[in-house]
Every structure is written in C-alpha cells, then in structure tokens.
Chains A and B, each alone.
Chain A
Amino acid sequence: MPDPLRSLFADPRPLALLLLAGLALLGGTIARRWLQRLRIPQGAAYILIGIFLGQSGLGWISHDLTQRFAAFNLYALGIIGFIIGGGVQREFLRKYGRQLLVIVLSEGLGAFILVAGAAGLLAYHFTQDWANALGVGLVLGAIAAATAPALTLDVLWEQKTRGILTTTLVALVAFDDGLALLLYGMAASVAAHLTRMHAETALWGALARAVMELAGGVVLGATAGWLLSLTVERSRDTQRATTFAIGAVALAVGLTLLLGLDLILGAMTLGLTLVNLAPRRSRPTFVAFEQAAQPIFVLFFLLVGAELNLARVPSWLWAVAIAYLLGRSAGKLLGANLGARWAGAAPPVRRYLGLCLFGQAGVAIGLSILAGARFSEGFGNWVVLVITATTLVAQVVAPAAIRLGVKRAGEVGRNITREDLVTSLRVRDVMDAAPPTLSPSTPLEEVLRTFARHEYVSFPVVDARGELLGMVSFEEVRATLAGGDYGRLLVAHDLLTPAPIVLEPEMPLAEAIAHMREGYLECLPVVDPEEGKVVGLLHAHALNRALEAEVLRRQQYGEGNR
C-alpha cells in the first residue's frame, strides 16, 4: 500500500497536488476525530498527521511536493490577511476604543520584544551570524504577537464564560493577529534587507527599502480595496461581489510579488479598506472567505508538519524554541498586565488576561511558511521549526491556561442558556418533590380547595401505599362547576383520569419537556420505577420559572458559587 501511494505523490503531474489536497482534507478531518478522543487539539492534531506523513515520518509528502504548493500558500496567506484586515472596523474600534488598543500594543509588543531579544541573542550565541540571528529574532518576535482567535473562542464557548474578561478577550484576539501581520511585514522587510546586505554597506539604505516595501504594500492594498469597494457597493449580487473579491486578492498578491512589496500587509490593507468603505455590502463576502479559511488552515498545518525534518534540526534550535515559549509567555503576561494597568481596565482583566493569550495557531503557522519560503537560503527553516514545535505546545497549554484564567476571574458558566440547563438536568432536579396528592376518597369540596391553593392544573391521586391511581385535572373539576350542588356525591375517584405519561425521576429533563410539548401537557406525575410510588410532580409553569431563575442566577454568579 505505501509504495503505490508514494509513487502517486511523487507524480510530476498536477494530480499529485490534487490527490494530496483531497486526502489531506478528508483524511485529516477523519483522523482529527480520532486524535480528538485523545484530547489533542485540532491544530496540533493536523501538525502531527503532517509529521507522520512527511519527511520525518513515512516520507509520502516530500519536500518537492510541498514546494509545489507555493502558489497556494501565498494566495492562502493573502486570504488570511484579507480576513484579518476585514476584522478591523471603525465601528469596532470606536466601541472598544483606546483601552483595547493600549492592551493589544503592550501585550503584542511585550511578546515581540522579549522573543526577539531572547531568540535573537541565542541564535547569535550559537551561530555567530548576526544578520540571520537578528532576522530570526525579529521574525519570531513578530509571529509571537499572534494569538489563536478560533481556539480561544472555542474554549470560551465550551466554558460558557461571560464577563469583562471574556468581552475584552474576544475583542482582543481579533486585533492580535492584525498586529502580528503588521509586525511581521516590518520584521520580514528589515530582515530581508539585512541578510542581503553585505557587511558594512548602508544600513539606512536597507531600512529605507524596507519602509518602501511596507508602504508600497499598504498603498497597493488601499488602492485595490477602494476599487473593490466601488464594485461591491454598486453590485446587488453578493456572488458577483465575492467573485470580485477573490480576484482582487489574487491580483493584489500577484502584484506585491511582482513589485517586491509586502504581501500580507497589502492583503490586510485590502480587507481593511473594503470593510470600512463598504461595511454592509462586503459582509457576505467576508463570511464566504471565513468559510474558506478553515480548509486553508488544515492544509497549512499538514504541510508545515510534513515539511518538518527533525533529523536536520540543529540541536541548539530547541533552545531557541524554549526561549521563544518563555519569552512569549512572559511578554504576553507582563504586557497584558501593564497594558491593562495603563488603560485602567477592570481587575479581572489586569490579573488574568495574560493567561488567556498563549494560543498559537493558523496565522502563526501561515507566517512561518511565508518566512520559510522567503528566507529559504537563511534562517527560514529555523522559523518553521520553532513555530511548528511551539504551536504544538501552545495548542495543548493554551486551552488549559484560558480555562484557568476565566475560572479565576469567576466567569465560567455564566453564559448559560435555558437549553444548556435543560440538557444538564434530570427530572429529579426540578420536580416538586412533595406535591399535594389526593386520595380516592377526597371529597369534591376538598379537591376544589386543593386547586384553589396551588397553581397546578392537575394532581396525582394515590392509594394508601402511595401508588399512582391517576390524575385529577382541572378539565374534570371545571365540569363540576356547571353541575351545581353535588354535596357528598363526588370524590376524587370519580374525577380520575389515567395519567397520559408517567415520568421517572432519573429521566433527562429534555425528554420530559419533549413529552409535555408533544402532548400539550402541563402537569405530569413522577413515579419511582422500582417502588411504583409517586415521588414528585413536574409542572410546566413552575418548571419555566425555576429554569429562568437558575439561568439568571448562574449568569450573575457563575457555576458553583451558590
């Protein structure tokens, strides 16, 4: 089996590319489920699959094959830049304002500075090559600013969090990646010119060219974004607008490559310009792009894993990877704390925000691929390795850190809905465990008094042993109101109807509610299946009130703080 596959993937025709992409997406998604059971997060799972199939594993995905994805990678990064730019809306900025900007800059730059310093110094210490050391430091530092929006939102959702930390975090992760792209653009330009520069020749010339590259990217992106917004604004057809956008991104990526401008910055400016010039009309386009992002990330992770050649990794690079992890964590923690202080953010944000920023995923991987290709002669492979290895670690550590942060901040379990509550409860948890019951000989007068005293619309009738005989519901009692003077003629036994459905205490509440909805039943008896005795009553109105009160209580106080 391996050999035919290996030869297929080695086929020089385009089919190898398509086969790999198809198998990677399908097989990766299936294998992911399996890895998920081992509690390995999504991104890490795809990287591991890539490592298994790639140069360090079975060798099916060769270096040559991944190289053939170059055009795809560049375009995919253009799309990611475009999406991230599209997240930077004026409305959004106005809403979250200065505070957020201060925090983003301080935690992003905190990670950037510490990682760049630590990684750069270590690299110089081991290689004595200052240009490459500075380059790898700058590029790693830039990538360190990125976080993982999808991973973060997943954890927040899973933990049902709600509160000031959650709100800040959700807004923050959208901007982090933008900052990372910006920093990467600058870092990569500077690094490119530094490494190409010969010894003592003009440093300023190199920097000037770097600035040109960045400014050129911004100008190109802004121009393309403005032109695109004109078409999008004029076209009522969202498909047409999306097609235009796909073309515009490809064109912008192509032009930045042709003119030697910064690709990511160009694509990001394109998205940013479009979203702010045509905020409403461009909405469906961005939604379509976001849907396309998921498979792109899958391929990124797989390819980067496959490219990893563990045998050729210089051992000192592991030290750089550790320095990256430590520097990044320290930078995020410190930067978030200081930024929150400066911005005057609430105490939970100050204390726990840093913990929630360890995530690293697709954007970091994508940037490392970009760096790997651009600096293939120099430090490119170092970046790919360090980012791949640290992403594996971050994928495991970050969710745990976020959980800890939101738990300490007391925001877990507050974003609970009625549905969440229903799925977590059993009939026993919400039933009236001591409902008024009637005996068969209870006279009508007493039955009427029972109805008057309680809001229930029916009552269980039990025999001397507590076993259910049936229900007396308001329907039957109402018939007696028209009939007049019964005296002692009627007793509960005469009003009895069989219970339409009998609930059990351990039955999931959702099932009980389904029964009530289907049968338009307001009141159902709960009977112990072993003893046959009535142990409770479930009443729709009382149930709704209890659920609403519990939802409100948990939203205010979170889980566990009763």
Chain B
Amino acid sequence: MPIADYLSPQRVCFLSADHKAGVLAELASVLASSGAVRDRDGLMRAILEREKIMSTAIGCGVAIPHAQSDAVRRLVMAVGVHRAGIADYETPDREPVRILVMIASGHRQQRAYIRLLGEVARLLKQEAVRQQLINATTPAQLYEIMVKSEPLGA
C-alpha cells in the first residue's frame, strides 16, 4: 500500500500553531483543500472526538490523528512538521510532538484506513525517517521522504 496513493505534495507543510488544537485545525484545513473532504468542520469535530477518547500520539515525537467521518469522501492523508514541538499533546513518553500525520476516511474504506494507519506507524517507527523529516527544509523534501522511504519490515 503505497503512501503516495493517499498523499500529495500539496498536503505536506510546516505547522505554525503552538498548541494541539491549533495544529490539528491547520492539518484539517490542509486535508479539506484536497477535495476528498466534504465538510472541514465535520472532519475537525471527528478528529477532536477521537483525541478525547485516546490521544493519538505514539511517542518519539510522532502523532497520527485520525478519524472516520461522513464528512470525508475518501481515504486521504496530510503531513505536518513542527520543529519546536507541541507541548500539550498527551504523549506516552513526554516527548513533544514534532511530526503529525492526519489520516481521514469515510465509513466505507475501513480496512484500507486501518492498513494505512499501520503503514504510517511502521514508517515513523524508524529513527532515521523521523530525523530526516525534522531536518527537512522544504515541503517538497517532506513529501519525498514520506513516499520514498520503505516502511520497516515491509
């Protein structure tokens, strides 16, 4: 399952907000620009509801906020990097979140959605990949790293 199928160069960015809600809103807007999202606010509500159930930060400075919602037409993702790190994202290892991948899906692509979440999680488990993302200077570089890197154990 190539990440390139769900990511485009327009949906990678550097984030500017300095708190969790802010960066999530930024990423939701990026996703909404793609045409895969019917209703940006609906998506945002689903994302926040999911964060309320359990934080999507998985440690090592990575968070993968995700949600399924009727506001979404098809499976889609966006990547954002925040060099300084977000402090108020509840993380298992207290490390501030620097890399965020937002994945949104409609209700009909459940299995692809789950597989994509696994794929991204495995990709970002790699220290080298994380380092490259944080060191990248342009969105184009971010995109390259995301689609060219081989997920661990694939």
Tell me, yes or no, whether A binds B: yes
| Contact flags A512-526 to B (C-beta < 8 A → 1, else 0) | 000000000000000
Tell me which residues across on chain A come within 8 A of B118, comparing CB atoms: 480, 482-486
| Contact flags B43-60 to A (C-beta < 8 A → 1, else 0) | 000000010011010110
* Nearest opposing residue in chain B for A498, CB measure: B107
* Nearest opposing residue in chain A for B55, CB measure: A488
Q: Check if A487 sits within 8 Å of B110, measured CB to CB.
A: no
Is A490 in the interface zone, CB < 8 Å from B? Answer: yes
Tell me which residues across on chain B come within 8 A of A487, comparing CB atoms: 58-59, 121
Tell me which residues across on chain B come within 8 A of A476, comparing CB atoms: 110-111, 114
Nearest Cβ distance between residue A457 and chain B, in whole angstroms? 15
Tell me which residues across on chain B come within 8 A of A497, comparing CB atoms: 107, 110
Tell me which residues across on chain A come within 8 A of B31, comparing CB atoms: none
| Contact flags B102-122 to A (C-beta < 8 A → 1, else 0) | 000001001100110111011
A440, A441, A490: most-surrounded residue (chain B CB, <10 A): A490
Total interface residues on B, CB under 8 Å, equals: 22
Tell me which residues across on chain A come within 8 A of B92, comparing CB atoms: 488
Nearest Cβ distance between residue B127 and chain A, in whole angstroms? 14
Tell me which residues across on chain A come within 8 A of B117, comparing CB atoms: 483, 486, 489-490, 494
Is A3 in the interface zone, CB < 8 Å from B? Answer: no
* Nearest opposing residue in chain B for A470, CB measure: B107
- A495, B115: Cα distance in complex, Å: 11
Partner of A479, one of B58, B68, B115, B125: B115
Interface size class of A (residues with CB under 8 A): 20 to 34
| Contact flags A435-475 to B (C-beta < 8 A → 1, else 0) | 00000110100000000000000000000000000000001
Is A248 in the interface zone, CB < 8 Å from B? Answer: no
- A160, B78: Cα distance in complex, Å: 67
Tell me which residues across on chain B come within 8 A of A495, comparing CB atoms: 110, 114
Tell me which residues across on chain B come within 8 A of A486, comparing CB atoms: 117-118, 121
Nearest Cβ distance between residue A522 and chain B, in whole angstroms? 17
Nearest Cβ distance between residue A480 and chain B, in whole angstroms? 6
Q: Which B77-103 residues have a C-beta within 8 angstroms of A?
A: 92
Tell me which residues across on chain B come within 8 A of A490, comparing CB atoms: 114, 117
Q: Which A496-537 residues have a C-beta within 8 angstroms of B?
A: 496-498
B50, B110, B115, B153: most-surrounded residue (chain A CB, <10 A): B110
Q: Check if B54 sits within 8 Å of A441, measured CB to CB.
A: yes
Nearest Cβ distance between residue A499 and chain B, in whole angstroms? 13
- A491, B107: Cα distance in complex, Å: 16
Nearest Cβ distance between residue A448 and chain B, in whole angstroms? 13
| Contact flags B129-154 to A (C-beta < 8 A → 1, else 0) | 00000000000000000000000010
- A43, B149: Cα distance in complex, Å: 88
- A494, B125: Cα distance in complex, Å: 20
- Known contacts A441-B53, A441-B54, A491-B53; is A484 also within 8 Å of B114 by CB? no
Is A493 in the interface zone, CB < 8 Å from B? Answer: yes
Tell me which residues across on chain A come within 8 A of B58, comparing CB atoms: 487-489
- A272, B38: Cα distance in complex, Å: 83
| Contact flags A168-210 to B (C-beta < 8 A → 1, else 0) | 0000000000000000000000000000000000000000000
Partner of B54, one of A479, A483, A491, A498: A491
Partner of B50, one of A484, A493, A498: A493
Q: Check if B121 sits within 8 Å of A482, measured CB to CB.
A: no
Is B24 in the interface zone, CB < 8 Å from A? Answer: no
**Residues of A near any B CB (own CB < 8 A):** 440-441, 443, 475-476, 479-480, 482-491, 493-498
What 9 pairs across the A-B complex have the smallest Cβ distances?
A: A483-B118, A479-B111, A479-B114, A441-B53, A487-B58, A491-B54, A484-B122, A440-B53, A441-B54
**Residues of B near any A CB (own CB < 8 A):** 50, 53-54, 56, 58-59, 64, 66, 68, 92, 107, 110-111, 114-115, 117-119, 121-122, 125, 153
30 A-B pairs whose Cβ atoms sit less than 8 Å apart in the complex: A440-B53, A441-B54, A475-B110, A479-B110, A480-B114, A480-B118, A482-B118, A483-B117, A483-B118, A483-B121, A484-B118, A484-B122, A484-B153, A485-B125, A486-B117, A486-B118, A487-B58, A488-B54, A489-B66, A489-B121, A490-B117, A494-B50, A494-B66, A494-B68, A494-B117, A495-B110, A496-B68, A497-B107, A497-B110, A498-B107
